Amino acid sequence: MANKEPQKILLAHGGGGRLTANLIEKTILPKLANEVLNRLTDGAVLRVNGASLCFTTDSYVVQPLFFNGGDIGKLAVCGTINDLSAMGARPIALSLALIIEEGFPMEILDRVLDSVGRTSQEAGVPVVTGDTKVVESEAADGLFINTAGIGVLLPNVNLSFERIQPGDKIIINGTIGDHGMTILSRRKGIRFDSPLKSDCSALADLTSRILEAVPGVKFMRDPTRGGVAAILNEIAAGAGCDVVIEETALPIDPTVRAAAEMLGLDVLEIANEGKMLMIVASEDAKEVVRICRDHTLGAQAAVIGTVATPQEEGGGIVELLTKIGGRRIVQMPYGRELPRIC
Amino acid sequence: MANKEPQKILLAHGGGGRLTANLIEKTILPKLANEVLNRLTDGAVLRVNGASLCFTTDSYVVQPLFFNGGDIGKLAVCGTINDLSAMGARPIALSLALIIEEGFPMEILDRVLDSVGRTSQEAGVPVVTGDTKVVESEAADGLFINTAGIGVLLPNVNLSFERIQPGDKIIINGTIGDHGMTILSRRKGIRFDSPLKSDCSALADLTSRILEAVPGVKFMRDPTRGGVAAILNEIAAGAGCDVVIEETALPIDPTVRAAAEMLGLDVLEIANEGKMLMIVASEDAKEVVRICRDHTLGAQAAVIGTVATPQEEGGGIVELLTKIGGRRIVQMPYGRELPRIC
């Protein structure tokens, strides 16, 4: 039997993995095709009056709405700021659109909005426009939030797959999997002595410090849905190179590691909400790690791997060098395991 | 007993009427307060590199997803284009964020995206960035769409409440209530010999023609949720004037009138999705009506009323001169009657 495309939307279509990529490439892009959208970065770059504007959008459907380290409101502000940061932009404004289920407690809405306001103020990125829709009881799951964001491209920044080449270093600003494991453990009712905490944070200050100081930064992407595994696969495919990461170099919180083992999950596939993967010229890697470690959001920054010469034409292979010296392929996640993580 | 604020979100909080205004002013704005947001127009104006950018967002939760004259995809593109148009901007780019229920038929998603693509192409406003989330079966009602939009303010345009004064004319580009009555009749299973059809359309071309030709246009707003009644009340309150409209001057399709009577609704409170209310200096009214009538989206344009000297300090009263010469107050709708209209 032929390998048919699903006729209905599956949870995995939203998981940030292979099915999400299929849906976007086969169903969505052909209908909307235009030069800007086809670039498929985290957002679009528009030229207006000589300025390069970045524009991005994300909806947030996380369950539960509140978790250790954040809530849907903080997530909605940080997530869109981080998408703009990954493009090399300084975020200047956010929109906020709420879809609320009838009967939703006003007191909880209040807490979420407090969090939106506080996070946006701390990050210095105001919410300038909004919309509110209410749907009947049971037509939505409590509260969904969409934020769109506008940023201005930082001067002299040029982030693109094309600049990536073998020998470049792969850097992350800290431990991986914290956000996703916090949400999943909460949902499964698992508790640990040292509690899991989402890394949800706005990275614009950190990324702009790095971009202003280091011209050798070639690419950035925040590893949210699908985790580090999904983004490294996108990078390898986009750059036409292979990628090799080292298991011993990956910063992973011990509780996150224990939780992932308990639930049978690969930490590389788990979502982050305060992390940036950076591809940096080899000679600049040390400086980027130093800037990260000087920042509150980068104390555990590390070089986790290297871009490699492709083994096959076109590249695209992501390999993990294991602790015991083996090699395993890190695949693009399918996406099913982790719905409603953000 | 004191008149207490509701402790839970009601459908009326999303209806575009009094409760929506309360929610925005008392719960949302205080948390997010900043100079741009507080202006509470249909969107925000941001200065970037000497250009004035307009930025707006809207979520679309309409049920049914398809209706005579449009669908949720067309609506999502037109609605955001119209918000930018009402600000006096030329729309330049849209974002598209989908929240899809698990199990949603791929074929229907395909049709909606076809419609998004076609509408955006016809209007010349590309979708440049997007996001897709999938939630579990029954966690959403099929499909919700958010679009945000960026526009560039047209040169020499100055639309604001402050310019409105007694004697100004109120113009609309055609019949009222078509969109809302089409949705509601479809939901109630009512059929008519001459079918109802939504007015869903993108107004940017019409509004830019008007704004380029007529400096005396002082204010524009698209009367969507809450209909003409809600917008006229906002205008009267914002301008500190009264407003008088004439029943005999209101363009209303006979089938829309019949449907509204049958369902016990006031056409003034019914949503439009292809209409613009314009406040115009008296001497320019004729020219604006002429430009509308020369356009496919303005054949039934009419002057429907006049801005009047306030009867009480601060103004804010909207009156309807009835066919038989009476006067009745047109109140801000409460909002309960019409959920999920857009």
pLDDT per residue over A10-19, tens digit each? 988 988 888 8
Q: What is the pLDDT of residues A57-110, one digit of tens each?
A: 999 999 999 999 999 999 999 999 999 999 999 999 999 999 999 999 999 999
Question: Within chain B, how many helices (H) and strands (E) appear?
Answer: 10, 14
Among A293, A297, A263, residue whose Cα is nearest residue A180? A263
Give the separation between CA A269 and CA B57, rounded to whole angstroms.
Answer: 32
A24 near B CB under 8 A: yes
With a pLDDT cut of 70, the percent of chain B lying above it is 97
CB contact under 8 A, A7 and B105: yes
B73 near A CB under 8 A: no
pLDDT at A136: 94
Position B339 confidence tier, pLDDT thresholds 50, 70, 90: confident
A50 near B CB under 8 A: yes
* A115: DSSP letter: H
Instruction: Let me know if B26 is exposed, middle or buried by CB neighbors in 10 A (0-12, 13-18, 19+).
Output: exposed
pLDDT at B290: 98
pLDDT at B337: 62
With a pLDDT cut of 90, the percent of chain B lying above it is 83
Please provide the average confidence, as pLDDT, over all residues in chain A.
Answer: 94
pLDDT at A34: 83
Q: What is the pLDDT of residues B155-199, one digit of tens each?
A: 999 999 999 999 999 999 999 999 999 999 999 888 888 899 999
Give the separation between CA B15 and CA A132, rounded to whole angstroms.
Answer: 9
The pTM score is: 0.95
**Of A10, A133, A144, Cβ closest to residue B14:** A133
Tokens representing residue B131 in the block? 């996001």
Give the separation between CA A218 and CA A200, rounded to whole angstroms.
Answer: 24
Neighbours of A34 (CB within 10 A): 16
pLDDT at A317: 97
Name the pairing type of β-strands A89-101 and A127-135: parallel
- The answer to whether A201 and A175 have CB atoms below 8 angstroms apart is no
Give the separation between CA B266 and CA B139, rounded to whole angstroms.
Answer: 33
What residues contact residue B189 under an 8 Å CB cut-off, 6+ apart?
A: none
CA angle B28, B33, B39 (to 5 degrees): 95
pLDDT at B198: 98
B4 near A CB under 8 A: no
**Of B24, B92, B107, Cβ closest to residue A46:** B92
A8 → chain B, closest CA residue: B105
pLDDT at A60: 98
pLDDT at A245: 98
pLDDT exceeds cutoff 50 at A1: no
Class of domain A41-153: alpha beta
pLDDT exceeds cutoff 50 at B2: no
Integer Rg of chain B from CA: 19
Domain with CATH 3.90.650.10 in chain A: 161-329
3-class secondary-structure state, position A206 = helix
3-class secondary-structure state, position B280 = strand
- The arithmetic mean of pLDDT across residues B330-342, rounded, is 83
B84 → chain A, closest CA residue: A129
Q: Which of A241-245, A294-298, B31-35, B65-69 has the lowest mean pLDDT?
A: B31-35
Rounded to whole angstroms, what are the CA distances from B325 to A199, B123, B309, B320, B328? 66, 42, 20, 10, 10
Domain with CATH 3.30.1330.10 in chain B: 41-153
pLDDT at B9: 93
- The answer to whether B278 and B217 have CB atoms below 8 angstroms apart is yes
- The arithmetic mean of pLDDT across residues A294-321, rounded, is 97
Class of domain A161-329: alpha beta
With a pLDDT cut of 90, the percent of chain A lying above it is 83
Integer Rg of chain A from CA: 19
Q: What is the pLDDT of residues A32-53, one digit of tens each?
A: 978 777 766 678 999 998 889 9
Give the separation between CA A135 and CA A141, rounded to whole angstroms.
Answer: 10
Q: What is the pLDDT of residues A158-215, one digit of tens each?
A: 999 999 999 999 999 999 999 999 999 999 888 888 899 999 999 999 999 999 999 9
Q: What is the pLDDT of residues B3-38, one digit of tens each?
A: 567 899 998 898 888 888 889 889 899 999 787 776
Please provide the average confidence, as pLDDT, over all residues in chain B.
Answer: 94
A263 near B CB under 8 A: no
B11 contacts in chain A (CB < 8 Å): 102, 134, 136
CB contact under 8 A, A127 and B34: yes
Give the separation between CA A68 and CA A181, rounded to whole angstroms.
Answer: 11
- The arithmetic mean of pLDDT across residues A283-312, rounded, is 97
pLDDT at B1: 41
A40 → chain B, closest CA residue: B129
Backbone angles phi, psi at B218, to 5 degrees: -105, -25
3-class secondary-structure state, position A279 = strand
CB contact under 8 A, B126 and A24: no
Angle B204-213/B285-293 helices, nearest 10 degrees? 140
Instruction: Let me know if B51 is exposed, middle or buried by CB neighbors in 10 A (0-12, 13-18, 19+).
Output: middle
- The arithmetic mean of pLDDT across residues B301-327, rounded, is 96
